[in-house]
Amino acid sequence: MESESPKLHMFFFPFMAHGHIIPFVDMAKLFAARGVKITAITTQADAPLFSKANQRIKNLGTQIDIKIIKFPSVEVGLPEGCENVDAITNSGQPSSESIMKFFEATVMLQEPLEELLGKYKPDCLVADMFFPWATDAAAKFGIPRLVFHGTGFFALCTISSMMLYEPHKKVSSDSEQFLVPNLPDEIKFSRKQLPLSMKQDGETFLSKLFKEMGASELKSYGVIVNSFYELEPAYADHYRKVLGRRAWHVGPVSLCNRSLEDLASRGKQASIDEQECLKWLNSKEPNSVVYVCFGSVANFSSAQLMEIAMGLEASGQSFIWVVRKDKKGIPERSVADNSRHGDAYNQRVDHNPYEERANSPHVEHSCFSSSNHTKACSTELREWDDMPHIEIFVAI
């Protein structure tokens, strides 16, 4: 009898933030379910996210191997145990210096990654876009590196054109609109809509990082995108045929979770009774509850949160609002008080499946995952305008 061919072996290496790790976990489950051997490279603090996934897929007869590397937080001047962006954003007022130190620490992960690549010789490395050095690290061992982007083709095409043509440097004021060249649609921005790193003169830490990311992507074997062709066919084709990039769309990867329990296990533990919340949702008419979430990194002041709370209550609309656990000054609501307080229900939980039950308009931080997710769930989306290219994508 002929011996079985060895399994394809892939290393997955996500950036240390929940918005990056969760789609990596979903993707790992997708590949593992198709017979691929998956090894996740992660830190001690983030390992439980992969361990929970293993609990959910053990009935499939496969597991995700987990290799833990030490995150050098103390070496760069961060507190001991600061291994995830959450640890910085939860600190009250995160500084740009802390964020820079965190990224400096990730660069120091190249050596332990190379040790693992040399020892286990995987067939390929799928590394987060924020690890531009991973392409060269994999090349040392003849291992192809794939870049994982949490965003979609529209954003990738727009950012590439912005960096190549720099149209924002050809207008006379921050409010004057400019056309982003060489895109399938007429896309316009003003300088005031751009991130600070793009508007600043000279090279900054972030502008340098993004240049390194672009160069690393060009040298890599290709790009994996958490999107699907039918969502943005013109931009998927543009990215491949016009920009000449090798890319595969594998999303929405969240659809690998077939049950509410699978979805609920992906992020942090809910701080409310999940069944009580689902009972409340089931008491509402379809398409009547608005899901409000600004992401786990956004850091609003208590005064800002109070304004949002007052606006939501004044709307008279039933809603579920995802709020960070450490925030104070928000009026508490219970299901019993629900009818006396504008039919409001304040939900303190970071990642969960309740938006599917709400099945109605979303108000979210404008990351691509929210656009991707709402399209997959056939729900309406209103974006919080901190990433205008995503807002424009939703509009077109």
- Written in H, E and C, the secondary structure of the chain is CCCCCCCCEEEEECCCCHHHHHHHHHHHHHHHHCCCEEEEEECCCCHHHHHHHHHHHHHHCCCCEEEECCCCCHHHCCCCCCCCHHHHHCCCCCCHHHHHHHHHHHHCCHHHHHHHHHHHCCCEEEEECCCCCHHHHHHCCCCCEEEEECCCHHHHHHHHHHHHHCHHHHCCCCCCEEECCCCCCCCEEEHHHCCHHHHCCCCCHHHHHHHHHHHHHHHCCEEEECCCHHHCHHHHHHHHHHCCCCEEECCCHHHHCCCHHHHHCCCCCCCCCHHHHHHHHHCCCCCCEEEEECCCCCCCCHHHHHHHHHHHHHHCCEEEEECCCCCCCCCCCCCCCHHHCCCEEEECCCCCCHHHHHCCCEEEECCHHHHHHHHHCCCCEEEECCCHHHHHHHHC
128 is catalytic: yes
Phi, psi dihedrals of residue 3, rounded to the nearest 5°: -70, 150
Kindly state the tokens that stand for 93. Answer: 């007022």
Helix axes 205-219, 153-165, angle to 10 degrees: 110
| Distance from C-alpha of 130 to C-alpha of 139, rounded to nearest angstrom | 17
- CB-hemisphere CA count at 13 Å for 247? 28
| Distance from C-alpha of 24 to C-alpha of 68, rounded to nearest angstrom | 15
Instruction: Tell me how crowded residue 313 is: count the other CB atoms within 10 A of its CB.
Output: 16
26 is catalytic: no
Phi, psi dihedrals of residue 320, rounded to the nearest 5°: -115, 125
Question: Which residue is catalytic, options 18, 20, 373, 389?
Answer: 20
Domains of the chain, by residue range, sit at: 9-69+109-155+193-255, 270-350+353-395
The CATH homologous superfamily to which domain 9-69+109-155+193-255 belongs is Glycogen Phosphorylase B; (3.40.50.2000)
Contacts of 194 (CB under 8 A, 6+ apart): 168, 388
Beta-bridge mates of residue 178: 189
**What is the identity of the amino acid at 2?**
E
Instruction: Tell me how crowded residue 48 is: count the other CB atoms within 10 A of its CB.
Output: 12
Confidence (pLDDT) at 2: 52
Where do we find the tokens 């993707």? 27
CATH number for region 270-350+353-395 = 3.40.50.2000
| Distance from C-alpha of 267 to C-alpha of 84, rounded to nearest angstrom | 13
| Distance from C-alpha of 104 to C-alpha of 110, rounded to nearest angstrom | 11
Instruction: Tell me how crowded residue 45 is: count the other CB atoms within 10 A of its CB.
Output: 17
Confidence (pLDDT) at 356: 45
Helix axes 18-33, 47-57, angle to 10 degrees: 30
| Distance from C-alpha of 22 to C-alpha of 84, rounded to nearest angstrom | 13
List the pLDDT tens digit at each of the 396 positions of the chain: 455 677 899 999 999 998 899 999 999 999 998 899 999 999 999 999 999 888 888 777 789 999 999 999 999 999 999 999 888 877 655 678 898 999 999 999 999 999 999 999 999 999 999 999 999 999 999 999 999 988 899 999 999 999 899 999 999 999 999 999 999 999 999 999 888 778 777 778 888 898 899 999 999 999 999 999 999 999 999 999 999 999 999 989 988 887 777 776 676 766 677 778 888 888 888 888 888 888 767 777 788 888 988 888 888 888 888 877 665 556 555 333 332 232 333 333 334 444 444 445 545 444 455 445 544 554 454 444 444 444 554 445
Cβ(349)–Cβ(322) under 8 Å?
yes
| pTM for the whole structure | 0.82
Confidence (pLDDT) at 207: 82
Can 9-69+109-155+193-255 and 270-350+353-395 be said to share one CATH topology? Answer: yes
Instruction: Tell me how crowded residue 26 is: count the other CB atoms within 10 A of its CB.
Output: 22
Confidence (pLDDT) at 305: 85
Cβ(13)–Cβ(125) under 8 Å?
yes
Radius of gyration of the chain (CA): 22
Question: Which residue is catalytic, options 26, 46, 86, 128?
Answer: 128
